[in-house]
Amino acid sequence: MKTIITIQHTQSIHHTNGMIGSWTDWDLSETGRKQAECIGKKLSKELEGKSFAMYSSDLKRAKQTAEIVGQYLGLSPVLATELRERNLGKCVGKSVQWLRENIECQEKNVDDRMFSDAESRRDEWNRLLPFYQKIMNSTDENIIVVSHGDLLSVFNTMWLGLDVESLNQAEMFGMAGGVSFMFENNEGKHFIKRMGDMSFITE
């Protein structure tokens, strides 16, 4: 039986300047830092008396979110490259406008790549899967995962026991600062009790 809380990193500078996130290593904005503080304060009350392990993408915007939240929970995040956002290849470091003007392939299925050196959704799935299996097989019953929107959409799909091809039909995307609560019961059935709860980012 497990409880997994996922946190999508809060507002990053790339959310405000028209640039691509992906593997570009953006810091949180000042608003993002305040949002992370709010998440930490509220989670510390909700999770009082419970012990958690915390994992985070090593990209700055997720790492900074995890570190701020972790200060309120007495946790130091374990950084994992597997939790990085999807790599968009030559688009990394470019603007959203550049992507629109130079995209090489309109993605229609999980094997398409926007750019020849980018990850497909299947690539992203395969990168995440060993990490997902590791935490599911671990003795930790309570786990916090801090990551990115695209990656967490894949995580949500895995949690529901769906296969990678299901991403061709439907996805569950959150927003920056969204907090989701997932539970596994004694029979191994998986539940998502709250999905992308945005109430945590405000006082």
| Inter-helix orientation angle 149-159/121-137, to 10° | 60
DSSP-based helix, strand, coil % in the chain, nearest 5:
40, 20, 40
In sequence order, what are the beta bridge partners of 128? none
Task: Give yes or no for residue 61 having a pLDDT over 90.
Answer: yes
Tell which residue, 154, 148, 143, 157, has the closest CA to residue 175: 148
The rounded mean pLDDT for the chain is 97
* Total count of residues recorded for the chain: 203
| pLDDT band at residue 203 using 50, 70 and 90 as cut-offs | confident
Residue 158: phi and psi, rounded to 5, are -60, -45
Q: Which domains does the chain have, with CATH numbers?
A: 2-201 (3.40.50.1240)
pTM score of the predicted model: 0.96
Q: How far is CA 196 from the centre of its chain?
A: 11
pLDDT digit string, tens, across residues 31-60: 999 999 999 999 999 999 999 999 999 999
